[in-house]
Amino acid sequence: MKIKTFNEVVHEQLKQCENVLIGKGFEYAPDAVDETPVDRLAHFKKAAAITGSDQKGALFGMLAKHLVSLSDMCTDGNDYTLERWAEKITDSINYLLILRAVVEEEGGAQNG
C-alpha cells in the first residue's frame, strides 16, 4: 500500500472513530455539555458497579467482546464486508480511547 493510501485510511478511520464517539456521547449522556455536571463516563461506572469491578475492568470486558469478534474474523476464513471490518475496528479503537479517558479521570496515569 502506498503511503498516500495508507494515510487516507488512517484519516478516515480516525474521523469515523470521532463521529461514533460524539454520536454515542449524545446517546449515553444526552445532557452532557461543558456547563452541566453530566458524566460522559457514567455508563462505565454503572457497569463497574454491576460487575463488581472497577471502571477499567468493566470497560476491558466490553472491549474483549470486540477483540474476540475481530479474532474470529481474522482466523475463521470467512469473507466480511469492509463495513463490518470498519465497525469492529472502530469499536475497538473507541474503547481504547475511552480507557484513556478513564485512566486520566482516575489519576492513574503517571508522567515520565
Using one digit for the tens of pLDDT, what is the confidence trace for 19-67? Answer: 999 887 666 665 655 566 678 888 899 999 999 999 999 999 999 999 9
Using one digit for the tens of pLDDT, what is the confidence trace for 82-100? Answer: 999 999 999 999 999 999 9
> d(Cα 55, Cα 106) in Å, to the nearest integer?
9
The secondary structure of the chain, three-state, reads CCHHHHHHHHHHHHHHHHHHHHHHHHHHCCCCCCCCCCCCCHHHHHHHHHHCCCHHHHHHHHHHHHHHHHHHHHHCCCCCCHHHHHHHHHHHHHHHHHHHHHHHHHCCCCCC
Q: What is the pLDDT of residue 30?
A: 58
Query: Are the C-beta atoms of residues 73 and 65 closer than 8 Å to each other?
Result: no
